[in-house]
Amino acid sequence: MAKNKPGPRKRQRTWKRIAKKDRRNLRLWAEGARESILKPHIPGYADALERGWRQERDYLHGVCKEFHALISWRLADEEEPVLPLPAYDPYTTPEVEELDDEETTTKRLRIETLNARIGRWLKYRARALRRRPDQMDRTRDPWAVFLAKLAGVTSPPKARQAFQQYMHESYEAEIAPAVRARWDASILDDSGNTRQAKAPDAPFRAKVARELFSELSDEEQEGLRQRAKAEAQEARETYIAAMKAGPSKSPEDRQKCIDRLGPFVSEFLRGVSEYTGLHSFAVFGGPMPKYGGEIWTVT
């Protein structure tokens, strides 16, 4: 038997990254030592974004202060600083340079430019870490998925297997009689007496369903497969639409959420207690739709 000939080898890339001084834009301006300063601050900056503009401003100020302490404002964008970088001490007062008016203006403009650039660099990379529902796909946001349970929205099930679709559609009419007959026969002892036994369990029912499914025609089996896929796709589309729509503000839907609040919060607080060992309780208050909008509390 002839051996298969090896396919053509993939050509390796021969191009090299363009040197900073030859680039036409500032897309990778922080590459190198500058990135080593900024990258560790991405999670902290993302957290500051979540807590408000003042926290973002203060955190960014600290990052810029560190950057300028380690990278001279005189250093051109295409130049790299001498490595290793010195250790940064946020409590050390920077040295005051003796500059004339023109140099002072140049330094101020350069630092303002770099600060704006640093802010854009951090914000762009922090977006992937932010958990606000309006900044990411709600179906991938664990908090949005968790909160959607209040509205009765849960992740769609996977597509059924063909024999499971058969059970879903025809269990009572076609499968249940066969299950009962085979179960009754299986619990008879050698003397014909009935042994004490529980009702047919799930594996037994599935086994019977598989056997009956195998007796169906190819056309019927394929029809069941296609209907299972179609129902799963419809359920997924309904789920995605509900998640994208976000919380409903209608009084009826809000009342349904309020009615589910007890079990929902209990599950959450129980988990918090398991992780922290702390005891907690929750009180919610506001207009209650089922009482005509009167203010009530829920504990």
The answer, yes or no, to whether residue 69 has pLDDT greater than 80, is yes
Asked whether the beta carbons of 77 and 26 are under 8 A apart, the reply is yes
DSSP-derived secondary structure for 114-133 = HHHHHHHHHHHHHGGG---G
Using a 10 angstrom Cβ sphere, with 0-12 exposed, 13-18 middle and 19 or more buried, the burial of residue 46 is buried
Asked whether the beta carbons of 84 and 109 are under 8 A apart, the reply is no
Least confident of 4-8, 29-33, 86-90, 188-192: 4-8
The answer, yes or no, to whether residue 24 has pLDDT greater than 80, is no
The answer, yes or no, to whether residue 199 has pLDDT greater than 90, is no
What pLDDT does 173 receive? 93
The answer, yes or no, to whether residue 283 has pLDDT greater than 60, is yes
Return the structure tokens found at 237.
């589309």
What is the chain's percent helix, strand, coil content, to nearest 5? Answer: 60, 5, 35
On the CB side of 283, CA atoms within 13 Å amount to 3
What pLDDT does 94 receive? 83
Least confident of 83-87, 175-179, 195-199: 195-199
What pLDDT does 133 receive? 46
Answer with the residue of higher pLDDT: 63 or 17.
63
The answer, yes or no, to whether residue 182 has pLDDT greater than 70, is yes
The answer, yes or no, to whether residue 68 has pLDDT greater than 50, is yes
- Res. 268 pLDDT band, cuts 50 70 90: confident
Cis peptide bond prior to 43, omega within 30° of 0:
no
Report which residue type is found at 42: I
Distances, alpha carbon 233 to alpha carbons 156, 163, 169, 227, in Å: 9, 18, 17, 10
The answer, yes or no, to whether residue 61 has pLDDT greater than 80, is yes
Tell me the C-alpha distance between 138 and 155, whole Å.
12
- Res. 239 pLDDT band, cuts 50 70 90: very high
Least confident of 33-42, 96-105, 209-218, 277-286: 277-286
The answer, yes or no, to whether residue 203 has pLDDT greater than 60, is yes
In the chain, % of residues over pLDDT 70: 86
* Residue 97, C-beta contacts closer than 8 angstroms, at least 6 positions apart: 107
In the chain, % of residues over pLDDT 90: 42
Q: List pLDDT tens digits, range 78-136.
A: 889 999 999 999 888 888 889 999 999 999 999 999 999 999 999 988 887 655 545 56
What pLDDT does 200 receive? 85
DSSP 188: B
What pLDDT does 138 receive? 76
287 bridge partner residues: 295
Map tokens 């946020």 to a residue. Answer: 90
Claim: this prediction has a pTM higher than 0.85: no
